[in-house]
């Protein structure tokens, strides 16, 4: 009779285990489209055998654990590729806008530079013509306005980047808080000997998102918690404690800071990765370098027209004479207001400040200075200035057109390289995600096969219990 009770227990455990396995399969099927979900399976272990009549007889089966299919290597690779994808993707919108600003179409700063110096060429054909003189002033003003528009557009791109950073801060702070909460939940569950599979899956998804946004690095500890930190080492999550990122507005500038245990620390470019690094890099490195080149171009044009041409020290506009015999007059206003910038950067803000100082077209110095006054038809100074556009070389290498061409090419090359890098990073992400799904994702075909297997096991266990029940009834009837 004792043997039948042992068999009855074995059948009961088999029935329970098959039922639990079917429940796990149902959970897998229901989460087939859940982001980051890892396939779960029941780990089965036999009950310890019992010595019965000199024989060790098994007592059934038990679900010892519910494990998830998880590959640490693939997960880490996905995290690394998320950083690269976030970095490149974060720069895409800003670079596309910069490419629009510094286009290579027919209407750009280089075109207006050429039109400005062409107007001097036209003036040289009729140096006394007031219409031609007005056109020179208008072309100069249009050129200055083109510089102003470019600088303002660059400012707008920087402001858009700041707005984008601000809009993302709340999201990443929420993810940081959730990772800390999941750390606590995982520890609480697993310290009791159970598996926190769903919490670990959710934490992996959050870490991947934080890697794309901030380029975070992670380190697991013995308690199952995950330490999360910025690339430079500043902590974001320590155990169940979450730090907070804040954007502090300083005029038109936006500074990122990290609040860690009552201490506020600045977050520089070296402490960022992913999308935030891409945005800050464009804002703090690339755009300032473009502005510097634009300022240099505006400064050189101003200096070339106001001071000298060809680098030989010969006076240009101030050295000529207007129709009213005026001389020593600058065509453009000085490139920088007082106080002057450092000697190492004399062209700072020149593109923002460039403007035409002449309001009376009679003061346009088309003629050279003569002792007896302006000779009728004297166009010598107008010819000198008209040649500045081609003859004046910046650093002895580029005229104004080629200098702007290099500036536009640099923007275009950076934008094209970014497009290629985004495509490459996205392809790598897709391949790794497919690999991860193949290793850890839910396959409906496999789940259907497993469902049939455990369904048959459940039916067999039920049949086994029915048979044992009949045998026990027969034994009871024999005693009667």
Pick from 245-249, 314-318, 385-389, 467-471: least confident: 314-318
Whether the upstream peptide bond of residue 90 has omega within 30° of 0, thus cis, is no
pLDDT for the residue 343: 59
pLDDT above 90: residue 319: no
Domain definitions of the chain by residue range: 2-69+447-479, 75-98+159-284, 104-156+287-414
**Residue range 225-254: mean pLDDT, rounded:** 90
Mean pLDDT of the chain: 85
Per residue in 143-162, pLDDT (tens digit) is: 999 999 999 999 999 999 99
Give the pair of three-digit tokens for residue 163.
């707005």
Residue for token pair 């207007």: 322
pLDDT above 50: residue 75: yes
pLDDT above 90: residue 245: yes
Distance CA 303, CA 333 (A): 10
Residue for token pair 């041409």: 309
Residue for token pair 């009728």: 376
Per residue in 100-119, pLDDT (tens digit) is: 888 776 678 888 989 999 99
Per residue in 14-53, pLDDT (tens digit) is: 888 889 999 999 999 999 998 889 999 998 888 776 666 6
pLDDT above 90: residue 367: no
Confidence band, pLDDT 50/70/90 cuts, at residue 311: very low
Specify the pTM.
0.84
Closest CA to 68 of 36, 91, 114, 110: 36
Per residue in 443-466, pLDDT (tens digit) is: 899 989 989 998 998 888 888 778
Helix (H) or strand (E) holding 247: strand 244-250
Percent of the chain beyond pLDDT 70?
Answer: 90
pLDDT for the residue 58: 64
Per residue in 396-442, pLDDT (tens digit) is: 888 888 888 889 999 999 999 999 999 999 999 999 988 988 888 88
Per residue in 80-107, pLDDT (tens digit) is: 999 999 999 999 999 999 988 887 766 7
pLDDT for the residue 310: 42
Per residue in 324-340, pLDDT (tens digit) is: 877 888 888 877 654 55
Residue for token pair 């036209």: 122
Confidence band, pLDDT 50/70/90 cuts, at residue 313: very low
**Sign of the four-CA dihedral 26, 27, 33, 36:** negative
Helix (H) or strand (E) holding 98: helix 72-101
- The DSSP line for 30-72 is HTTTSTT---EEEEEEEPPPEEETTEEE---EEEEEEEE---H
Confidence band, pLDDT 50/70/90 cuts, at residue 250: confident
Distance CA 357, CA 364 (A): 11
pLDDT above 90: residue 228: yes
Distance CA 287, CA 15 (A): 68
Contact assessment for residue 366 and residue 320, using Cβ atoms and an 8 Å cutoff:
yes
| Residue 335 Cα to chain centre, angstroms | 36
pLDDT for the residue 470: 75
**Residue range 229-233: mean pLDDT, rounded:** 91
pLDDT for the residue 170: 92
pLDDT above 80: residue 344: no
Give the pair of three-digit tokens for residue 385.
């200035």
């Amino acid at each position: 009779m004792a043997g039948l009770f042992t068999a009855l227990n074995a059948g009961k455990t088999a029935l329970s285990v098959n039922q639990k396995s079917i429940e796990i399969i149902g959970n897998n099927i229901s989460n087939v489209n859940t982001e980051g979900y890892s396939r779960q399976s029941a780990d089965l272990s036999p009950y310890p055998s019992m010595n019965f009549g000199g024989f060790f007889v098994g007592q059934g089966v038990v679900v010892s654990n519910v494990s998830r299919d998880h590959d640490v290597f693939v997960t880490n690779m996905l995290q690394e590729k998320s950083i690269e994808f976030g970095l490149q993707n974060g720069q895409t919108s800003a670079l596309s806008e910069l490419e629009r600003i510094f286009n290579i179409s027919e209407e750009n700063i280089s075109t207006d530079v050429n039109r400005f110096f062409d107007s001097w060429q036209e003036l040289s054909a009729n140096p006394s013509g007031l219409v031609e003189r007005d056109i020179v002033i208008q072309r100069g003003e249009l050129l200055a306005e083109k510089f102003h528009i470019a600088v303002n557009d660059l400012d707008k791109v920087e402001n858009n980047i700041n707005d984008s950073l601000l809009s993302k801060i709340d999201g990443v702070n929420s993810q940081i808080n959730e990772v800390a909460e999941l750390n606590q939940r995982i520890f609480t569950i697993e310290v009791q000997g159970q598996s926190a599979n769903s919490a670990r899956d959710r934490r992996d998804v959050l870490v991947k998102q934080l890697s794309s946004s901030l380029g975070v690095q992670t380190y697991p500890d013995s308690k199952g918690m995950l330490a999360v930190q910025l690339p430079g080492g500043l902590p974001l999550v320590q155990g169940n404690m979450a730090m907070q990122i804040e954007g502090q507005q300083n005029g038109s500038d936006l500074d990122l800071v990290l609040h860690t245990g009552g201490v506020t620390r600045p977050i520089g470019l070296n402490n960022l990765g992913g999308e935030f690094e891409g945005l800050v890099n464009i804002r703090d490195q690339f755009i300032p370098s473009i502005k510097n080149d634009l300022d240099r171009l505006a400064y050189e044009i101003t200096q070339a027209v106001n001071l000298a041409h060809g680098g030989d020290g010969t006076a240009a506009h101030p050295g000529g004479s207007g129709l009213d015999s005026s001389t020593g007059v600058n065509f453009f206003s000085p490139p920088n207001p007082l106080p002057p910038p450092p000697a190492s950067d004399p062209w700072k803000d020149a593109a923002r400040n460039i403007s035409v100082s002449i309001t009376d077209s009679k003061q346009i110095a088309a003629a050279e200075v003569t002792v007896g006054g302006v000779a009728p038809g004297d166009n010598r100074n107008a010819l000198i200035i008209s040649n500045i556009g081609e003859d004046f070389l910046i650093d002895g290498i580029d005229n104004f057109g080629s200098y702007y061409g290099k500036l536009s090419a640099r923007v275009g090359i950076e934008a094209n390289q970014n497009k290629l890098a985004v495509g490459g990073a996205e392809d790598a992400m897709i391949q790794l995600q497919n690999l991860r799904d193949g290793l850890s994702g839910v396959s409906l075909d496999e789940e259907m096969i497993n469902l049939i297997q455990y369904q048959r096991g459940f039916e067999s266990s039920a049949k086994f219990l029915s048979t044992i029940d009949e045998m026990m009834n027969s034994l009871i009837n024999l005693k009667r």
